[in-house]
Structure 1
Amino acid sequence: MESTFIGEFRTDLHEISLISARTEKSWSGHNKLTRKSSTAFHKKPRRQGSAYSTNRKSECDSSGVEVSNEDVEHLPPLLFETSDMREAALSAKLKQCFRVCNFNEVNKDTKSKEVKRVALNDICDFLSWHFDSLDHSEIYEDLFQFFAVNLFRDLPPVKEVCPLELILVEVEEDDPIKDVAWPHLQLVYAIFLTVIQSPKFDPELASEYLNEEFVFKLLQLFESYDSRERELLQSVIYNIYLKMIYLRACIRKQIAHVFLMFVEGNRSPNGVAELLDMMSSVICGFAVPIKQEHQQFLHHVLIPLHRPRSLPLYHESLTLCMTQFLERDESLVDEMMNRLLPLWPRIQTAKSIKFINEVESILEKVHNYDKENQAWLCLLARKVASCIQSDHSLVAERALTFANGQLFFDFLKPHALRIIPLLFPALYHTSRTHWSATVTSLAFKLLTHLMSLNSELFDYLVDIQSGNELKLTEQNHAEFILDQHIHSIY
């Protein structure tokens, strides 16, 4: 079954790569998309009989976007237009906004920036109140070309993320990177959300333009370093998922592709948290029993996301997705834990705390499932024991707090004969040698709990551990005497 899935998944990724290749060819340079060259939008005859359809001589600005040779002027507000002229007026104002202003130079395109800002606000306000404009098929072409011209662009190069910083400290953006074109981008996204959320939005009319290639280009924008853009993109993609039912499978596959590209080191972690937040809402809607396709997404996409060192950037969102699966079907816990625990970090750093937090969240979702068949508990006990022995006081303290909790004890009791011997050596050693008083106190507390579970087993383990320490002491003493003898000879 798994080999079959891998074959199908590779086929899906191959299809996505073909979409990527076609998209890069048809959208070459992103900003060079024009009315004439766009392959994603089919050219239709210009609507006649309107003051807004006059032919104008045009050229391309430095970004390659078609603009007018004439000075950019304010068009009349859309709300002042008569009902029979509103469609033509909206089309004209959208086309006026095809020009992408240069925000990298403060003193350049100052008039165009202001004219476009006013026009974008006018479009957003108009579409918020006049839903009937979306009843006309002609307006969808202008709308989606407007979105493509303004959103699909070259993003700044990816900067390197320091893995050590991500592991040892909580990640905080003290000086977040902001897109200089945000005054216009924010309004474009607002218009997009207004359109897609409108009760008059027609998926059938939009399907000619809102297709797999368009979605693929939207997902590429999650590479943006501006967190404000990624948050709005999350809302846009989720609303597309809700409205465009025929695109749902494609969106899930493309998001899986983004995650796997990140796991393999072929893209930055930007957007991973936002996409995971979106997927958590999608998972809530999965039918029970969970389809095999969705289980494979859990096993082969979500769980591998625990491998990258940048896990702290998106771990909270990832944990939410994992627990959402269990809320739908608790029986997934066995396979989930069997795949998750082997990914536990070998070096006991703060990343271990993330894993303990996640395991605790997972166990909290398991209420009615049979706890007698938890074969993975032994592996979990070994991982917790290794954290208890950590010299990192926060790691050891978090592991002991988890092990002292009632949640862990509920899972431990049916398997006490197997679990206590796995925990005892680490607890015995930590309670006697750890430098942190808080850690030693928690270790003594857990030892007391274990003794109350099975006093005979506990006494037996104490005797064995004491004997091992005695043997170790005698061995060290013998080695010391031999070492002194060698030194006396030379």
Structure 2
Amino acid sequence: MLRKIMKGGHRKPSKSDGNDFGFGAPRNSGSGPANNVVVNHSSRAAPGPPSPHTGSAIAAPPPIWLWKDYGQLSRGNDKNGFSEYIPLLLRYVVSSDTDTKVAKRYIDHSFVLKLLDLFDSEDPREREYLKTILHRIYGKFMVHRPFIRKAINNIFYRLVFETERHSGIGELLEILGSVINGFALPMKEEHKLFLVRALIPLHKPKLISVYHQQLSYCITQFVEKDYKLADTVIRGLLKYWPVNNCQKEVLFLGELEEVLEATQSAEFQRSMVPLFRQVARCLTSSHFQVAERALFLWNNEHIVSLIAQNRSVVLPIIFEALEKNIHGHWNQAVHGLTVNVRKMFLEMDTELFEECQRQHAEKKSRARDVEEQRELTWKRLADVAAQRGGEDMITV
């Protein structure tokens, strides 16, 4: 195919042009292979495959050595510049005329790393092109799949543990979403490690809101593929649960609901105690959106079913939070939702509900006794200090 394309006016690179990619750097003179290439700028209008052509061979995509020879995938010093060769590369990788055996000689590990470096672009159009290109490369070149996954892992590690910023995480996660969807069952240990070591830690950065939708999809795909991973995912969410970022907490609660929808009873039982301790803290949050989002969990029939099966464990954990909301939450919507949840538990198991009420009353009574004892102790200390008067005072 390359020979066919070169007949259309492309110079074959000489062996003297060799560099670590296989061909040399661009020459400073005006002559060279780049001047012989006619670029159809209208083809850059959209990141889709080119329209079909008929007739001469020059209608085929440019040869892959253009990007290898001239390093056109690099923007140089302009980080936000849009390389005009990226749309041409897209045309090449999506073309049905592309011979993967020939292209494999040029699309190697170094090429993939250069491509991945470009994902940290602030131009969303460029990231869309790159997403489609990398996805097609992943699909066509099976030999590169493990390396591509590993390279993406490394980008995630740098984000989580070093930089905490990257513009292309959402696009990379979109690619991984379709990759995860195609994982064969039973799932390989390598893929489970990818979930634990790469995806779950992505909940740590502050900029999670930029890519949370794609991350949540990837996480849910794992649980839907293998329900036994639900416990791992839930505990991972609890590990990175935000302490003082309410908007992030709302995102976590939304993702938690999606994970619980795919969770079966056995996995739910393994993590329900730490899970509902956290939910109880969310229920009493002074930020009404957090409390409201936590209460919305009871609108999900599957989650209510899991809770009903394990109500003897769940209700004692959250009962105090419900009572606190009933008697003291400032937001009227949260108060109304709490009343509904409380009523649901009462109808679910009246005997258990009354037992929780009794235990809660006893706990409040003990707390009052402790508070009274503390006040008496302080009063005695004050009396002793008053009796001694100023005996222990040092005068100058």
Structure 2 length-normalised TM = 0.82
Which of 19, 36, 44 is equivalent to 1:38? 19
- One-letter amino acid of the counterpart of residue 455, structure 1: T
Q: Secondary structure at the match of 1:129?
A: coil
Residue 329 of structure 2: aligned partner = 434
Is 1:382 the counterpart of 2:277? The answer is yes
Q: Quote the offset at 1:152 in angstroms.
A: 1.1
Query: Unpaired runs of 5+ in structure 2?
Result: 1-15, 390-396
Task: Answer yes or no: is the 8 Å Cα contact 1:280–1:320 preserved in 2.
Answer: yes
Task: Answer yes or no: is the 8 Å Cα contact 1:371–1:411 preserved in 2.
Answer: no
For residues 325 and 226 of structure 1, do their structure 2 counterparts lie closer, same or farther at Cα, with a shift above 3 Å needed? same
Greater relative CO (CA pairs within 8 A, separation 6+): 1
Task: Answer yes or no: is the 8 Å Cα contact 2:322–2:338 preserved in 1.
Answer: yes
Alignment RMSD (CA, Å): 3.2
Is 1:336 the counterpart of 2:260? The answer is no
- For residues 194-343 of structure 1, the aligned pairs below 5 Å read 194-266=91-163, 268-343=165-240
Q: Quote the offset at 1:399 in angstroms.
A: 0.5
- One-letter amino acid of the counterpart of residue 129, structure 2: L
Identity level (%):
28
Residue 34 of structure 2: aligned partner = 95
Q: Quote the offset at 1:335 in angstroms.
A: 2.7
Which of 446, 450, 470 is equivalent to 2:365? 470
Task: Answer yes or no: is the 8 Å Cα contact 2:157–2:198 preserved in 1.
Answer: yes
Which of 383, 397, 417 is equivalent to 2:292? 397
Task: Answer yes or no: is the 8 Å Cα contact 1:284–1:324 preserved in 2.
Answer: yes
Task: Answer yes or no: is the 8 Å Cα contact 2:152–2:172 preserved in 1.
Answer: yes
Q: Secondary structure at the match of 1:387?
A: helix
Q: Quote the offset at 1:242 in angstroms.
A: 1.0
Structure 1 length-normalised TM = 0.67
Question: Matches of 1:204 and 1:252 in 2, distance apart?
Answer: 21
Q: Quote the offset at 1:484 in angstroms.
A: 6.8
Question: Matches of 1:251 and 1:131 in 2, distance apart?
Answer: 36
Which of 345, 364, 373 is equivalent to 2:242? 345
Q: Quote the offset at 1:240 in angstroms.
A: 0.7
For residues 153 and 372 of structure 1, do their structure 2 counterparts lie closer, same or farther at Cα, with a shift above 3 Å needed? closer
Residue 415 of structure 1: aligned partner = 310
Is 1:149 the counterpart of 2:44? The answer is no
Task: Answer yes or no: is the 8 Å Cα contact 2:261–2:303 preserved in 1.
Answer: no
- One-letter amino acid of the counterpart of residue 148, structure 2: I
Task: Answer yes or no: is the 8 Å Cα contact 1:128–1:194 preserved in 2.
Answer: no
| Greater Cα offset, 314-323 or 461-470 | 461-470
Deviations 1:426-480 (A, max 9, x none): 1111211111111111112111111222212211221222233234345445655
For residues 282 and 126 of structure 1, do their structure 2 counterparts lie closer, same or farther at Cα, with a shift above 3 Å needed? closer
Q: Secondary structure at the match of 1:222?
A: coil
Task: Answer yes or no: is the 8 Å Cα contact 1:134–1:202 preserved in 2.
Answer: no
- One-letter amino acid of the counterpart of residue 41, structure 1: G
| Greater Cα offset, 212-221 or 463-472 | 463-472
Q: Quote the offset at 1:334 in angstroms.
A: 2.7
- For residues 45-56 of structure 1, the aligned pairs below 5 Å read none
Residue 406 of structure 1: aligned partner = 301
Question: Matches of 2:231 and 2:377 in 1, distance apart?
Answer: 52
Q: Quote the offset at 1:280 in angstroms.
A: 0.2
Residue 361 of structure 1: aligned partner = 258
Question: Matches of 2:55 and 2:137 in 1, distance apart?
Answer: 18
For residues 476 and 123 of structure 1, do their structure 2 counterparts lie closer, same or farther at Cα, with a shift above 3 Å needed? closer
Q: Quote the offset at 1:338 in angstroms.
A: 3.2
For residues 348 and 259 of structure 1, do their structure 2 counterparts lie closer, same or farther at Cα, with a shift above 3 Å needed? closer
- One-letter amino acid of the counterpart of residue 115, structure 2: L
| Greater Cα offset, 202-211 or 345-354 | 345-354
Residue 119 of structure 1: aligned partner = 39
Question: Matches of 2:324 and 2:88 in 1, distance apart?
Answer: 62
Question: Matches of 2:77 and 2:155 in 1, distance apart?
Answer: 16
Task: Answer yes or no: is the 8 Å Cα contact 2:276–2:314 preserved in 1.
Answer: yes
Q: How many residues align?
A: 366
Q: Secondary structure at the match of 2:354?
A: helix
Deviations 1:289-313 (A, max 9, x none): 1111111111211111112222111
- One-letter amino acid of the counterpart of residue 95, structure 1: A
Q: Quote the offset at 1:347 in angstroms.
A: 3.3
Q: Quote the offset at 1:126 in angstroms.
A: 9.0
